[in-house]
Amino acid sequence: MALNGAGEDMDCGGLWLRGSGSTLLQQDLPAPCASLPPEVDDFSWEPPTEAEMKVLQARRERQDRISRLMGDYLLRGYRMLGETCADCGTILLQDKQRKIYCVACQELDSDVDKDNPALNAQAALSQAREHQLASASEPPLSSRPAPQPPVPRPEHCEGAAAGLKAVQGPPPPAVLPNADVVACTQEALLQKLTWASAELGSSTSLETSIQLCSLIRACAEALRSLQQLQH
Amino acid sequence: MAAAGSVTVALHVAEVLETIVSGCLGPEGRQVLCTKPTGEVLLSRDGGRLLKALHLEHPVARVMVACVSSHLRKTGDGAKTFIIFLCHLLRGLREITDKEKDYFIFENIQTCGRHWKNCCQWKFISQALLTFQTQILDYIMDHYLSRHFLSIFSSCSKERTLCRSSLEMLLGAYFCGRVGRNNHNLISQLMCDYVFKCTACESRFEEVLEIVDDCFVELKVGVTGLPVSDSRIIAGLVLQRDFSVYCPADGDIRIAIVTETIQPLFSVSGSEFILNSEAQFQTSQLWITERTKAIVKHLQSQNVKLLLSTVKQPDLVIYCAGLNGISVVECLSSEELSLIQRVIGLAPFTLPEASSQYELSHTALVEFCKPLILRSKRYVHLGLMSTCSFTPHCVVLCGPVQGLIEQHEDALHGAFKMLRQVFKDLDLNYVTQTSDQNCTSGPCIYENSRENNELPKIVNSSIQRSYQDTVVKSKGELAKTQTNLKVCSNLIVPGVKLEKNVLCSGPKVAVTDSYQTEETLRCSSPNKGTIMDDHEPYIESNSANSTTENTRREISYGNLQVTKLARKDSMLSLRYKSLEMHTSQSYYFSSIPAGCVLPVGGNFEILLHYYLLNYAKKCQQSEQTMVSRIIANALLGVPRILYKSKKGNYSFPQVYVRALQTLQTNQPMISNQTGLESVAGKYQLLTSVLQCLTNILTVDLVISIERQPQEICDQDSEEEL
């Protein structure tokens, strides 16, 4: 006997079978007035906290997006299958070439994948920057992604093609900036770095510390760019 | 499949369908472009069409679309509202049950016992939904909503005349949400003209609409290649065939219908024709020719100028008819034939057996009969003289492409179905409990223990009439939708033989004799577990007076301890939770008269929402409160979408607040929308959605199979041999 809905096992403990519906209806239901199972009463339910609300809201929006995408695909002639995806539980679609397609896995970024550097360019860039920050005192290594002046974008980022074209469009400026200006900027940056590190040492709040660290990182990057300009 | 899981899956499916149909809801809705799997492109605003064009293999989706289709077949309206309402109900149910679950845990940590309780909860909720229909919805419709209804008839006395402007508003609102924006005025005017032209007598709309609805395919002609504005109404009947031979005729024209060939055949099936020589063959042929000529001559002598044939006539017949001035139309479809018979009451011409027997043949007089040419296709145009209340007219629908014509045809057909429902009375039956202080009984659950679509009708009139059949009528004639659990909303007029002291009082009704109706009551109270046979009901007389104008009769019973009567084809089993409590149930029969309408723009939904919430506050039983709240909140989903594009004073929150204020201060509701919608349609939509939801909630397990199970052929006969 083939059972449907592998993905619908989310809430079910496994396989179980019911008797025919009529036998159930002739049993006396436990408490005629209770509407909910007895172990739940209204006093134990509390309204969700802020964080939980945000998560709920995000989940609802994600679900709305999935529904809208699925509706679009259905209107384009895709077929809605009776199975759900094993990873995320969304209903699967099948196109005219009989290829199975899961909208959530293949189109929407999931919550987790946002931080995976292998999948996301932004995550890769921040990882690279963190590496450089760790080696900020040493001369810049050649661990930078590529020698092109603007940062390269992987193909699947939005506007990748346009970005690449924009990269090759205007040639890099050949004129070196004035050495005095560079020295002043470096001076200012170092002062900021000093101040920030002093503040970091004395701060007790988490948020402030994070912001100070990012300030330090930005200063280090600026310094590096300035050093490149000089070379 | 867990029942809870099926709600989540059903909600996902419903949300997907909702995103598709919500874009085209209402007068502001847009067209939706859908590519069918075959590659065709469909541009439509018709919800039913769109849903059927989708390629859905998910079982829950198919259940939903099947429910929508069966609802549309009956009422012709409301596919998009159905899906939106269903989606909101599922969302409400999920939110209610999510309160117990942990938000963040998706894996299963529940034991089997807890899961069983969840499923019991779903069954309980689905039963509560059905009892809502029987106990609460009808009660609220009857008591509260009825004072807001308008009527499309201009006078409420016995002579009701249909008000043309109200009909235009009703049809305008219907087509506004279904047909493209540039065409809907034209189509609604066309239909209005058609309805008035076809009805000979002012009070016979129901018959006319019934005939038009049944035979709509024959009453319309589609012409491609012309602009939509060329659509018009033609008096008479247009047959989709051309003349095989046409002889113009003046004066009286009579027609005859034949269903077999006039020319005798050499042999009929089941007999042998033995020829021994060439001469015999030629003699037979000669006889056939002479016979055919004789019959045709006879027809001509009867002044028959047109012969309508459902089969193909041989060339000899055509030739003879042409010689004698008789036009012939062949290969009529059986539906066209039945329409002609319905309109003029003509039976087919029976061919006489022998040459000397010429009985009085069946012919009928028509006004005219001529060919009609519509854009290079030829038709037969007949002017019939109708013997019933329907004056035949045909609608010629023009359009640039075939797809648009089909959409207009579907819209017109749906409009006729919708009008049919408007012109019927809507019966309401409900039971209220007036309980004593110590009563804690649960809801009365009426079960239909057999799946049978034929529920006998309830007599909604004086109880003095004695009726022998079981009298049950499910709400709004929705017995046709298939449900596994049918709740009969009603009113069991008790079916036990009452021998003495039967008093049933309403102010205008007096029952003097015992009346016999039958029912089966199976009492399953805790102490009395078996079926009892020898009780008589104790019927209390109730002195409640109904002073309203509606004929509302009230019968109340107390201490009904009866069970009896297993009549074989009775279909009811009534279960009381606790009989020892002194609860008296009051049964009400009422009806909403035909022609009740409300202004468009979500008025029905907002009114019902308000009264349901009021009821929920007063109600003591928690499951009824929960169900009422869920339904009341879900009802607002439709007006929210309708007013989505409006801003400022006409946005949904403003409209809602204004409506609440007028209702709370008991002022009349004013609507600034021109357009009416049928109350019966809305009510039937609500009950259809609740039944569909019950179907979905009671799904325990989904088993996918490769193909349909085969019919088990009758093996008994083989075994006997």
Angle, helix A50-75 to helix B3-21, in steps of 10 degrees: 60
Q: Which two tokens stand for residue B144?
A: 């509260």
What local confidence, expressed as pLDDT, does residue A115 receive?
56
Give the residue on B whose Cα is nearest the Cα of A40. Answer: B100
Give the separation between CA B298 and CA B301, rounded to whole angstroms.
Answer: 5
Instruction: Give the least confident one: B79-93, B221-235, B244-258, B682-696.
Output: B244-258
**DSSP-assigned letter for residue B520:** -
Which pLDDT tens digit goes with each residue over B179-198?
888 898 999 999 999 999 99
Which are the contacts of B169, defined by CB distance < 8 A and separation ≥ 6?
B674, B675, B676
- CB < 8 Å to B91, chain A: none
What local confidence, expressed as pLDDT, does residue B353 receive?
63
User: Residue B472 — very low, low, confident or very high, per pLDDT cuts 50/70/90?
Assistant: very low
What local confidence, expressed as pLDDT, does residue B403 receive?
87
What local confidence, expressed as pLDDT, does residue B90 receive?
93
**How many C-beta atoms lie closer than 10 Å to residue A130's C-beta?**
10
- CB < 8 Å to B34, chain A: 75, 77
Q: What are phi and psi of B166, to 5 degrees?
A: -65, -40
Q: Considering chain B, what percentage of its residues have pLDDT values greater than 90? A: 29
Which are the contacts of B610, defined by CB distance < 8 A and separation ≥ 6?
B659, B660, B663
Which are the contacts of B150, defined by CB distance < 8 A and separation ≥ 6?
B166, B596, B597, B598, B599, B676
User: Residue B228 — very low, low, confident or very high, per pLDDT cuts 50/70/90?
Assistant: very high
Indicate whether B404 pLDDT > 70. Answer: yes
What local confidence, expressed as pLDDT, does residue A110 receive?
55
| Residue B569 Cα, gap to closest chain A Cα (Å) | 19
User: B234 or A44: whose pLDDT is higher?
Assistant: B234
What local confidence, expressed as pLDDT, does residue B72 receive?
94
Give the residue on B whose Cα is nearest the Cα of A18. Answer: B700
Which pLDDT tens digit goes with each residue over B258-287?
888 888 887 777 888 888 899 988 998 999
Containing B113, the helix (H) or strand (E) segment is helix B112-131
- CB < 8 Å to A67, chain B: 12, 15-16, 18-19
Contact criterion met (CB below 8 Å) for B385 and B44: no
Contact criterion met (CB below 8 Å) for B669 and B659: yes
- CB < 8 Å to B100, chain A: 36-37, 40, 45
Q: Is B607 helix (H, G, I), strand (E, B) or coil?
A: helix
User: B590 or B396: whose pLDDT is higher?
Assistant: B396
What local confidence, expressed as pLDDT, does residue B235 receive?
93
Give the residue on A whose Cα is nearest the Cα of B7. Answer: A8
Indicate whether B516 pLDDT > 80. Answer: no
- Nearest-CA neighbor of B125 among B678, B631, B670, B507? B631
Which are the contacts of B346, defined by CB distance < 8 A and separation ≥ 6?
B255, B257, B340, B362, B363, B364
Amino acid (1-letter code) at residue A131? H
- Between the CA atoms of B47, B52, B58 and B60, what dihedral angle is there, to the nearest 10 degrees? 50
> Mind giving me the DSSP string for chain A?
--B--GGGGGS--S------HHHHHHSPPS-TT--S-TT--GGG-----HHHHHHHHHHHHHHHHHHHHHHHHHHTT-EEEEEE-TTT-PEEEE-TT--EE-HHHHTSPPTTGGG-TTT-HHHHHHHHHHHHHHT-SSPPPTTSS-SSSSPP--TTSTTHHHHHHHHHSSPPP-SPPPHHHHHHHHHHHHHHHHHHHHHHHH---HHHHHHHHHHHHHHHHHHHHHHHHH-
* Per-residue confidence in pLDDT tens, chain A, 231 aa: 333 444 344 443 433 334 343 443 344 434 444 444 444 445 566 777 888 889 889 988 999 999 999 999 999 889 999 888 888 888 999 988 889 989 888 877 655 555 556 656 666 677 777 777 777 655 544 444 444 444 444 444 444 444 444 444 444 454 555 678 888 888 999 999 999 999 998 888 888 899 999 999 999 999 999 888 887
Give the separation between CA B608 and CA B635, rounded to whole angstroms.
Answer: 8
Indicate whether B65 pLDDT > 90. Answer: yes
User: B191 or B122: whose pLDDT is higher?
Assistant: B191
Domains of chain B: 2-104+116-149+592-703 (1.10.560.10), 159-218+401-425 (no CATH), 244-265+277-357 (3.50.7.10)
What local confidence, expressed as pLDDT, does residue B548 receive?
38
Indicate whether B569 pLDDT > 80. Answer: no
Q: Averaged over B323-349, what is the pLDDT?
A: 89
User: B699 or B289: whose pLDDT is higher?
Assistant: B289
Instruction: Give the least confident one: A24-33, B118-127, B585-594.
Output: A24-33
β-pairing, B55-56 vs A79-84, is parallel
Q: Averaged over B683-691, what is the pLDDT?
A: 93
- Cβ of A4 within 8 Å of Cβ of B704? The answer is yes
- CB < 8 Å to B622, chain A: 33-35
- Nearest-CA neighbor of B593 among B73, B160, B164, B133? B160
Instruction: Give the least confident one: B274-288, B631-645, B660-674.
Output: B660-674
Reported pTM: 0.66
What local confidence, expressed as pLDDT, does residue B319 receive?
92
Indicate whether B301 pLDDT > 80. Answer: yes
Which are the contacts of B102, defined by CB distance < 8 A and separation ≥ 6?
none
Indicate whether B506 pLDDT > 60. Answer: no
What local confidence, expressed as pLDDT, does residue A158 receive?
44
Indicate whether B501 pLDDT > 90. Answer: no
- Nearest-CA neighbor of B415 among B51, B43, B78? B78
| Residue B172 Cα, gap to closest chain A Cα (Å) | 28
What local confidence, expressed as pLDDT, does residue B8 receive?
86
Q: How many CB pairs under 8 A join A and B?
A: 169
- Cβ of B100 within 8 Å of Cβ of A74? The answer is no
Q: Considering chain B, what percentage of its residues have pLDDT values greater than 70? A: 72
- Between the CA atoms of A180, A183, A185 and A188, what dihedral angle is there, to the nearest 10 degrees? -130
Give the separation between CA B69 and CA B74, rounded to whole angstroms.
Answer: 9
Q: Which two tokens stand for residue A70?
A: 């699925």
**Chain A interface, mutation test: which of B55, B125, B449, most A Cβ atoms within 10 Å?**
B55
Instruction: Give the least confident one: A41-50, B616-625, B641-650.
Output: A41-50
The single residue listed with the structure tokens 């309160």 is: B99
Give the separation between CA B622 and CA B600, rounded to whole angstroms.
Answer: 33
Of A9, A64, A77, the CB nearest to B37: A77
What local confidence, expressed as pLDDT, does residue B115 receive?
59
Give the residue on A whose Cα is nearest the Cα of B118. Answer: A37
User: A231 or B84: whose pLDDT is higher?
Assistant: B84
Amino acid (1-letter code) at residue B702? V
- Nearest-CA neighbor of A24 among B484, B398, B637, B294? B484
b/e sequence B686-709, b meaning 16+ C-beta within 10 Å:
bbbbbbbbbbbbbbbbbeeeeeee
**DSSP-assigned letter for residue B414:** H
Which are the contacts of B356, defined by CB distance < 8 A and separation ≥ 6?
none
State the sign of the Cα–Cα–Cα–Cα dihedral A5, A6, A8, A13: positive
What local confidence, expressed as pLDDT, does residue B105 receive?
35
Q: What are phi and psi of B210, to 5 degrees?
A: -65, -45
Q: Taking phi first (over 0 means left), then psi (-120 to 50 degrees means alpha), and beta for anything else, what does residue B229 get?
A: alpha
Amino acid (1-letter code) at residue B384? L
Order of strands, edge to edge, in the sheet holding B232-235? B220-224, B393-399, B232-235
User: B23 or B68: whose pLDDT is higher?
Assistant: B68
What local confidence, expressed as pLDDT, does residue B237 receive?
92
Angle, helix B622-635 to helix B112-131, in steps of 10 degrees: 70
User: Residue B471 — very low, low, confident or very high, per pLDDT cuts 50/70/90?
Assistant: very low
Q: Averaged over B144-159, what is the pLDDT?
A: 78
Q: Which two tokens stand for residue A33?
A: 């007035």
| Residue A107 Cα, gap to closest chain B Cα (Å) | 16
What local confidence, expressed as pLDDT, does residue A231 receive?
72
Amino acid (1-letter code) at residue B411? A
- Cβ of B12 within 8 Å of Cβ of A5? The answer is no
Give the separation between CA B533 and CA A112, rounded to whole angstroms.
Answer: 68
User: B75 or B202: whose pLDDT is higher?
Assistant: B75
What local confidence, expressed as pLDDT, does residue A169 receive?
44
- Cβ of A48 within 8 Å of Cβ of B103? The answer is yes
- CB < 8 Å to B441, chain A: 32
**How many C-beta atoms lie closer than 10 Å to residue A194's C-beta?**
11
What local confidence, expressed as pLDDT, does residue B85 receive?
95
User: Residue B481 — very low, low, confident or very high, per pLDDT cuts 50/70/90?
Assistant: very low
How many CA atoms lie within 13 Å of B327's alpha carbon, on the beta-carbon side? 21
Q: Averaged over B572-577, what is the pLDDT?
A: 39
Contact criterion met (CB below 8 Å) for B5 and B699: no
Give the separation between CA B685 and CA B663, rounded to whole angstroms.
Answer: 24
Mean pLDDT of chain B: 75
